[in-house]
Structure 1
């Protein structure tokens, strides 16, 4: 077993700095970190059991703790961890919310933990979202008093929202607040919208433990995964205590650890600009990162940076190592310049010494893996077009059907049209009847999922035909992990990996493009990427894999940092328009897409703005001016 508390310092990346006010540990992967947290909880349960005492746990919901619960279940089933002495209190629940609703936290906790361990039902405490409004205040007081009757919480597991909320303690919450009802922040509801299939279905209120309740816990561990949490974590860990960022109240708790993955920690000073914290070992990657940062900070092109700029901004050590700003500037400028290419498949018969891709073979077999049926054109539509135009054998592989992202209204429209055309035969009537009478908790029928998948498949073929790819080169993989009919997906299995392996073995590609969205450990993009990585691991011994290079693109929400980019593919204004038209073929994802997030722009607008922003960053660094740039980072397997 892993020892409590101190183990995080040993297993993760911990370094105390003058900027940080909360103990935090960084891990390369959320899975590794989750296992350690689960073992800390398991040790606590066992120690309490040995003392003949109950173990009082405060538990969280959401995507962050899922792998912690998975490991606790494994420890119970495989290593005999008993939950007989465990009493749990959940942080919060939507209000109003029936406990049988699949979106309720009651359902979540039983699905991920309680149904799989030997905890006594009477020891499970989850706020009741069905309490009568007249009785709600007294109910919250009673919930608070019940926690206190056990002597408070021994351990509190937390996540953090992008508003800085812990539990549902939104900005403005008081440091001494107790269990109460609260109105949810709009951003919190936006983040919850995908699970509810739209923000209109997300409750506006919730019941939550208070800040005071949480801070009374003897031990607090907060989990945070993904780049979407990076900004709020910097504010929480390095900022001043403020009711506008409720998580900052944890700065005043003596036994709190934030457990982060590398993406979530990316804005912390010791990660983003380590030269401001300590003396650095200046790797080539860190040099480029530092010079790009300095250029952006001073708003000077790289070639205009001076010795004084370096010395004034904590980089004198780098300058001493490199000699002069002049030499360093030229070196870093050339490194960025060499990432730019109009030949993403390699330029035939050219010297490729300083090019991101090989010149040979001049005509390459290419697989573009797209998690959903529109990620290919949204994320790399210009590069896609360039590869086809330059004569490469381009294959598109849509990893999932994307059916969950088709609204019921859109599906109903197609079903009603199909009835008129009699194209779906007898199935159309049952589909229409199901959709018109579908309840909030109803999972789409197989027929409805098939129709929604067909809608997205037809849209994809429209886009690929527009870009000149023959239908025979378009592959709909329909990976089984996705086909649950709900927002929550299954785990990867051998069936998923075999489908990926079979396609790669059949095509024997020289290039693979894939969505490198490593931020969300539970999102479809991450699972699709994991399926590729596992397939590559199984296939890497084949000789044809020696000639295969893998390039990762980012999705509609984030772009690679400039210093991470290893291939930058410029687009002309005409290509930007062509990419836009390719995206337009995905009509079901236009005009109010279901999983929009907090960004109200349509996907084509996001893509164009992102590609323009990348081009502007290159230009601001002193490189050539382009209308737009798509960016890629190479994955070495």
Structure 2
């Protein structure tokens, strides 16, 4: 019976899927399967032939294999490896090279024979690449094929570098990279303009011949493409869908990467549910969108025809369900993000008292505050609250070199205009120009260049916060040490990061903390900064009584928005407030027009913010709420 229930629950899934609680557990499980294969082959006197992937996804798998080698005696002497791909052209000792990646994450830490390692050669003349690819295929076939191929999945649906349009029988070859793939890689190369346009990759057909294929995916960013690969129609537009034709494939996901699959996203379509309040809210909002009706116009027939008959029977009548959800949504809307003084707050998202609250807006990068919650920021100030802003990092990796030269040129001219000696600064300027002339992609800037980039973003942040109405005394620059590496790859969080955050919190003793909950940030800075704040508050809760009265509100907007059913506070913005928010964002001139790291959204940040805020208001309107120009959305974090 359990097997029948599972088949019903997964009936939209066209290939086997295993979901783990997090990527750590999933990575350990995959590493164990690889280790078991190596040991089984070794016991039989055979070699294990592995197809390996690069990128963020397999890093923890490789770390676990290294641990097994060092602590459990797992030997790689009988292992032969073939990597999926390599950028072209690419020097093997380059930081971005997959040769470097594999050495740093696996090969340098285990006892594999160097002669048994095969990675596509990114240094070949282009007229030799085709012959190399044929030889790569011949070597795999001569060994009897791949025993196990591990894969990640790109957001275009690529496996290896088999981009949309790849043929299901394709072999190892030179390919042109999709623009989205290059944008996703821009962080590693110091900007998309430095990412190679081509790569050498194993083909879909090569991958397909492996006796076992494991595709891994972590994080909500991968959820949309995972759903297409698992539940969608087979199409060259999503090369990973070709894996549906294999009898030897398994998708290994964490809960976030699996979140868009039908059994997790809309479970009422595939099974009976335990209807808690949050699931009812999600389902009713989904039903409203599915049938194109406001909530209060949904009928019993709508419920029955869309997989929600169980809800109607157990929790009905449906009109009462509609009223309850309508009221819940209506109570999230407030023009008083700091609470309305003297009002009944039993149906409001924020407390009425104290009438004047101390609020801290934590901004991971120097512009996240105004991009994500600029309207609410300004309104809190206008309504008389004691508002502080804390810029957690300098953001100094996201400034163009040209801007550095422009600002230093200004400083030289200013010094000379007031009769000061500018010779020392001219020397620094000349050094900067010489460095930039030979600078490699993603090379660490000199300290002077990093300082100027940080100064640029600092002055922009000050201008934005002043425009919002803050006095200079309430503007704080933390420059958290984890970020100040000079590289796009940051250090791990240390005690100093938490100490600095605890000190600021103790100084302000806020009633409200606003923090980025926008974990789709491609730099990873948002989640790191969020965790620092939460850990700081956890520690302070043990000794500081004021923390019990401190509410934490998460905002989004720079990279994504909260789904409507999750929103707990929606702050409407008038057209005039939208314009004020836009002007605050405009203070960040170094991020306007063409930022260094735009992510996968080509729109300018102010356009993204306005579009998302407008869409949130339109979603509320379609559900039957009052019509507003825009809305900023928040979710409360509860310890």
Q: Distance in 2 between matches of 1:186 and 1:522?
A: 18
Q: Distance in 1 between matches of 2:83 and 2:625?
A: 53
Partner of 1:497: 498
| Change in CA separation of 1:421 and 1:74 when aligned onto 2, cut-off 3 Å | farther
* Counterpart mapping for 1:32-431 below 5 A: 32-422=25-415, 425=425, 427-431=428-432
Superposition RMSD in Å: 2.2
TM-score, normalized by length of structure 1? 0.93
Give CA deviations for 1:282-321 in whole Å, capped at 9, x if unaligned.
1100100010001111111101111111111111111111
| Change in CA separation of 1:378 and 1:132 when aligned onto 2, cut-off 3 Å | same
Query: Does structure 1 conserve the Cα–Cα contact (< 8 Å) formed by 2:93 and 2:99?
Result: yes
User: Which SS does the other structure have where 1:405 is aligned?
Assistant: coil
Q: How big is the shift at 1:411?
A: 1.6
User: Which SS does the other structure have where 1:21 is aligned?
Assistant: coil
Comparing 554-563 and 50-59, the one that deviates more: 50-59
Asked if 1:478 is matched to 2:471, the reply is no
Query: Does structure 2 conserve the Cα–Cα contact (< 8 Å) formed by 1:270 and 1:277?
Result: yes
User: Which SS does the other structure have where 2:251 is aligned?
Assistant: strand
Comparing 322-331 and 107-116, the one that deviates more: 107-116
Partner of 2:632: 630
Q: Distance in 2 between matches of 1:555 and 1:151?
A: 51
Partner of 1:5: none
Q: Distance in 1 between matches of 2:125 and 2:7?
A: 47
Q: How big is the shift at 1:441?
A: 5.4
Q: Distance in 1 between matches of 2:56 and 2:473?
A: 38
Q: Distance in 2 between matches of 1:459 and 1:28?
A: 41
Q: Distance in 1 between matches of 2:500 and 2:42?
A: 46
Give CA deviations for 1:251-304 in whole Å, capped at 9, x if unaligned.
122232222233322321112211110111111001000100011111111011
Size of the aligned set, in residue pairs, is 626
Q: Distance in 2 between matches of 1:489 and 1:380?
A: 26
Q: Distance in 1 between matches of 2:299 and 2:619?
A: 20
Q: Distance in 2 between matches of 1:78 and 1:497?
A: 32
Partner of 1:3: none
Q: How big is the shift at 1:470?
A: 1.9
Q: 1:559 aligns with which of 561, 585, 605?
A: 561
Q: 1:603 aligns with which of 602, 605, 625?
A: 605
Q: How big is the shift at 1:555?
A: 3.5
| Change in CA separation of 1:339 and 1:584 when aligned onto 2, cut-off 3 Å | same
Query: Does structure 1 conserve the Cα–Cα contact (< 8 Å) formed by 2:157 and 2:163?
Result: yes
Query: Does structure 2 conserve the Cα–Cα contact (< 8 Å) formed by 1:302 and 1:622?
Result: yes
Partner of 2:419: none
Query: Does structure 2 conserve the Cα–Cα contact (< 8 Å) formed by 1:364 and 1:510?
Result: yes
Comparing 448-457 and 215-224, the one that deviates more: 215-224
User: Which SS does the other structure have where 2:537 is aligned?
Assistant: helix
User: Which SS does the other structure have where 1:403 is aligned?
Assistant: coil
Q: 2:579 aligns with which of 564, 570, 577?
A: 577
Query: Does structure 2 conserve the Cα–Cα contact (< 8 Å) formed by 1:155 and 1:218?
Result: yes
Q: Distance in 2 between matches of 1:378 and 1:353?
A: 30
User: Which SS does the other structure have where 2:397 is aligned?
Assistant: helix
Query: Does structure 2 conserve the Cα–Cα contact (< 8 Å) formed by 1:415 and 1:432?
Result: no
Q: How big is the shift at 1:47?
A: 3.6
* Counterpart mapping for 1:454-533 below 5 A: 454-519=455-520, 523-533=524-534
Q: Distance in 2 between matches of 1:386 and 1:298?
A: 36
Q: Distance in 1 between matches of 2:372 and 2:15?
A: 37
| Change in CA separation of 1:116 and 1:386 when aligned onto 2, cut-off 3 Å | farther
Query: Does structure 2 conserve the Cα–Cα contact (< 8 Å) formed by 1:394 and 1:473?
Result: yes
Q: Distance in 2 between matches of 1:493 and 1:214?
A: 41
Query: Does structure 2 conserve the Cα–Cα contact (< 8 Å) formed by 1:415 and 1:431?
Result: no
| Change in CA separation of 1:242 and 1:350 when aligned onto 2, cut-off 3 Å | same
Partner of 1:534: 535
User: Which SS does the other structure have where 2:185 is aligned?
Assistant: helix
Give CA deviations for 1:426-449 in whole Å, capped at 9, x if unaligned.
544433332233233532112211
Q: How big is the shift at 1:408?
A: 1.2
| Change in CA separation of 1:355 and 1:330 when aligned onto 2, cut-off 3 Å | same
Q: Distance in 2 between matches of 1:187 and 1:314?
A: 36
